[in-house]
């Protein structure tokens, strides 16, 4: 597929998934095993975001790119920051506007942000760039650089190619099956720490770091149900913080966090 087609397909997917995302945030007691592991992994990512937010003065301007239903945007706002968001999915956008009418949310994609140069102190993007191809990722990083103030920071999540949950191999297998059955298969931007560091520096950022969080084995065990996954996660938490900054372990984590500074 061409870059534009991949982006359009990602937007359509989020139109379809919007109601499920809304339910995860508004009815957490009704979550499935898949949704539970999503929330669990999200918490580990939020722990890292809090470290970044701690370095920003209250009132700093924050943009949430691909803000979905708006719950993350509002979570940041409630911590004392001036937040706004962009979201290209009609269904996600409608939920966000209904959920949080006092937050400015615009219809836009990550590679074409409708704000002037040097507008934000922080740009956040959770589970967005993973659905876009390499070209769109590069455009997005350049756009982040444009809208961030000097010294501004971005915080995004990516998907590790070598995650221990074996998602790369699962996705590739599903791709083959989709071709045989002539069914829709969504793109995933599998990457590595080294590849991300190069892309971010190529976009003009003066510094970049990557962090791996959420051990892939935990996400894999959740495939056997909430009880199995939850018990294993509790065991892992006793011996590990599920965080790595070294080049080996962070490349096998389920979430690769990329933080760039302008």
Under DSSP, is residue 165 helix (H, G, I), strand (E, B) or coil?
Answer: coil
Whether the Cβ atoms of residue 133 and residue 189 lie closer than 8 Å to each other: yes
Non-local (6+) Cβ contacts of 68 within 8 A are: 14, 18, 21, 87, 89, 92, 95, 96
The pLDDT score that the predictor gives to residue 220 is: 84
Q: How many helices (H) and strands (E) does the chain have?
A: 9, 9
Percentage helix, strand, coil, to 5, in the chain? 50, 20, 30
Non-local (6+) Cβ contacts of 113 within 8 A are: 63, 65, 86, 143, 146, 147
The reply to whether CATH 3.40.50.150 applies to domain 3-261 is: yes
Strand-pair category, 61-65 with 190-191: unpaired
DSSP state of 187: -
The pLDDT score that the predictor gives to residue 197 is: 97
The pLDDT score that the predictor gives to residue 223 is: 84
Distance CA 114, CA 155 (A): 19
Distance CA 99, CA 26 (A): 10
Whether the Cβ atoms of residue 42 and residue 68 lie closer than 8 Å to each other: no
Q: For the chain (length 262 residues), average pLDDT per consecutive 10?
A: 91 95 89 87 96 97 98 98 98 98 98 98 97 97 98 98 91 88 88 97 98 91 88 90 90 96 98
The pLDDT score that the predictor gives to residue 185 is: 83
The HSE-up count of residue 76 (CA atoms within 13 Å, CB side) is 33
Under DSSP, is residue 83 helix (H, G, I), strand (E, B) or coil?
Answer: strand
With CA atoms as reference, report the closest residue to 52 among 186, 142, 157: 157
């Amino acid at each position: 597929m061409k870059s534009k087609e991949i982006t359009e397909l990602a937007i359509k997917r989020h139109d379809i998934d919007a109601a499920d995302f809304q339910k995860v945030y508004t009815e957490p007691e009704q979550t499935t095993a898949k949704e539970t592991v999503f929330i669990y992994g999200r918490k580990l990512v939020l722990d890292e975001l809090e470290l970044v937010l701690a370095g920003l003065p209250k009132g700093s301007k924050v943009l949430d790119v691909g803000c979905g239903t708006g719950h993350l945007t509002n979570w940041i706002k409630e911590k004392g920051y001036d937040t706004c968001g962009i979201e290209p999915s009609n269904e996600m956008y409608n939920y966000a506007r209904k959920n949080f009418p006092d937050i400015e949310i615009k219809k836009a994609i990550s590679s074409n942000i409708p704000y002037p140069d040097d507008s934000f102190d922080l740009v956040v993007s959770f589970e967005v760039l993973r659905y876009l191809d390499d070209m769109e990722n590069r455009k997005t990083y350049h756009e982040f650089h444009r809208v961030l103030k000097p010294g501004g920071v971005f915080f995004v999540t990516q998907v590790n190619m070598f995650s221990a949950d074996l998602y790369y191999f699962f996705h590739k297998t599903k791709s083959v099956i989709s071709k045989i059955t002539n069914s829709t298969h969504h793109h995933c931007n599998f990457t590595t720490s080294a590849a991300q560091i190069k892309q971010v520096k190529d976009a003009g950022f003066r510094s970049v770091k990557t962090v791996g969080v959420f051990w892939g084995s935990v996400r894999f065990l959740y495939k056997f149900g909430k009880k199995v996954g939850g018990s294993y996660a509790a065991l892992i938490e006793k011996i590990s913080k599920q965080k790595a900054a070294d080049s080996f372990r962070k490349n096998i984590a389920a979430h690769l966090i990329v933080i760039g500074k302008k």
